[in-house]
Amino acid sequence: MKYPKTLKKGAMIGLVAPSSPVSPEQVAQCQKVLQDLGYRVKSADNLSASKGGYMAGEEEVRGNWINRMFADDEVDAIFCIRGGDGGNRIMEYVDPDIVKANPKIFVGYSDVTSLHLLFNQQCGLVTFHGPMVRSNMIEHFDKESEKAFFDALTAEKEYVYQPPKDFEIKTAKAGKACGILTGGNLTVMCTSIGTPYEMETEGKILFVEEVGEHIGNMDRNIYQLRNAGKLKGVSGILLGQFSNCDTDQENYTIVDIVKDAVKDLNIPVMYNIQSGHGFPMVTLPMGAECTMDTDNKSIVFSVER
């Protein structure tokens, strides 16, 4: 796996919208917040475009902007402006050869999970499940999220997950495991099954997060992963934020669902990992070698450039 070069002050950030759009006013806000952080900005021209009211223009346009930002020698890192919907529509238009030839920082989460899987599995590139510009940096870039973000993008030898204050790591199943980190949004992971971009989990540590789902839907999706063989070979599981998810029963949660789904598997499961659709939002390097240990409640990523 290729860990991209570190982010330096004054770097050029390519701002893309692979899923849903933002308003022109929000585009200006996003550009300003990055400039105020000390970076230059080059923006795709579809950030406020609209198709169907929920996608940032035609899928070919959105996919080609990913290619253009990776191929552009002036661009040092690519930040997604937001997630939303329609990201899986662009997969056939993203060129893995361009990405492999021009490895660089790529940041996003939620609907961007499709691109993380593509870049990790087909391009050998470590990407970052981290804050997006419109969704996080304008109004919700708290100090802990900001520190974790820049620590992840500038780490030299290792990057250690630091739980935010009052969000201690918890254990559902004890143990220690090592493996490349994969996963992301639960719904998007499940929709990859049966496609050329299907998530690979064998020997890996699986990270899972979700937003706005009923417990029944999360149950179906977790058991879709189990029935598709995606849980059997994992080394371990990290459960992130499940923001605005309706559990229906206070005494039966997503943690209980996962414990049931892996009760016959000898793998560790840690939860309360603060990465996903909530705040604070800690950055995770997808595709990086990860070691999780429930004894000392640690999550450590190796950085190899």
| Whether 200 contacts 234, CB under 8 Å | no
Q: Is the pLDDT of residue 74 over 80?
A: yes
C-alpha to C-alpha distance for 91 and 187, rounded to whole angstroms: 16
pLDDT of 204 > 70? The answer is yes
pLDDT classification of 121: cutoffs 50, 70, 90: very high
Report the SS3 class of residue 173.
strand
Model confidence at 131, in pLDDT bands (50, 70, 90)?
A: very high
The DSSP element (H or E) to which 129 belongs, if any, is strand 127-129
CB 126 within 8 A of CB 4: yes
The CATH number of domain 10-141 is 3.40.50.10740: yes
Say whether pLDDT at 248 is over 70.
no
Dig out the tokens for 101 from the structure: 């030839």
Q: What is the pLDDT of residue 165?
A: 96
- pLDDT recorded at residue 170: 98
Percent over 90 (pLDDT), the chain: 96
Q: How many Å apart are CA 66 and CA 87, to the nearest integer?
A: 12
Task: Classify residue 19 by its DSSP letter.
Answer: S
Is beta strand 269-271 parallel, antiparallel or unpaired with respect to 236-243? parallel
Please give the backbone phi and psi of residue 270, each rounded to the nearest 5 degrees, phi first: -115, 150
Q: Are strands 176-185 and 289-293 parallel, antiparallel or unpaired?
A: antiparallel
Instruction: Give the pLDDT confidence of 18-36 residue by residue, as tens digits.
Output: 999 999 999 999 999 999 9
DSSP letter, residue 194: T
CA 75 – CA 117 distance, rounded (Å): 22
Domain boundary assignment for the chain? 10-141, 159-302
Tell me if 13 sits within 8 A of 32, measured CB to CB: no
Residue 148 neighbours by CB under 8 Å, 6+ apart? 130, 161, 162, 280, 282, 283
Q: Which residues of 195-224 are buried (b: 16+ CB within 10 A; e: fewer)?
A: eebebebeebbbbbbbbebebebbbebbee
Determine the angle formed by the axes of helices 254-261 and 215-227, rounding to 10 degrees.
20
Q: Does residue 17 contact residue 46 with C-beta atoms inside 8 Å?
A: yes
**Is residue 225 within 8 Å of 213, Cβ to Cβ?**
no
Tell me how far apart the terminal alpha carbons of the chain are, to the nearest angstrom. 9
Is the pTM higher than 0.95? The answer reads yes
Residues forming a β-bridge with 243: 211
Calculate mean pLDDT across residues 168-185: 98
What mean pLDDT comes out for the span 251-278? Answer: 96
- Inform me whether the pLDDT recorded for 208 exceeds 90: yes
Which residue is listed with tokens 């996919």? 63
Residue 246 has pLDDT above 90, yes or no: no
User: What's the average model confidence in pLDDT over 240-247?
Assistant: 91
Active site residues: 110, 209, 277
User: Degrees (nearest 5) of the Cα angle 274, 275, 278?
Assistant: 80
Task: Tally helices (H) and strands (E) across the chain.
Answer: 8, 14
| Average pLDDT of every residue of the chain | 97
Q: Choose which CATH entry (3.40.50.10860, 2.60.40.10, 3.50.30.60, 3.30.360.10) describes domain 159-302.
A: 3.50.30.60
Does position 67 have pLDDT exceeding 70, yes or no?
yes
Q: Is the predicted pLDDT of residue 178 greater than 90, yes or no?
A: yes
Residue 305 — pLDDT band, cuts 50, 70, 90?
confident
pLDDT over 70 percentage in the chain: 99
3-state helix, strand, coil in the chain (%, to 5): 30, 25, 45
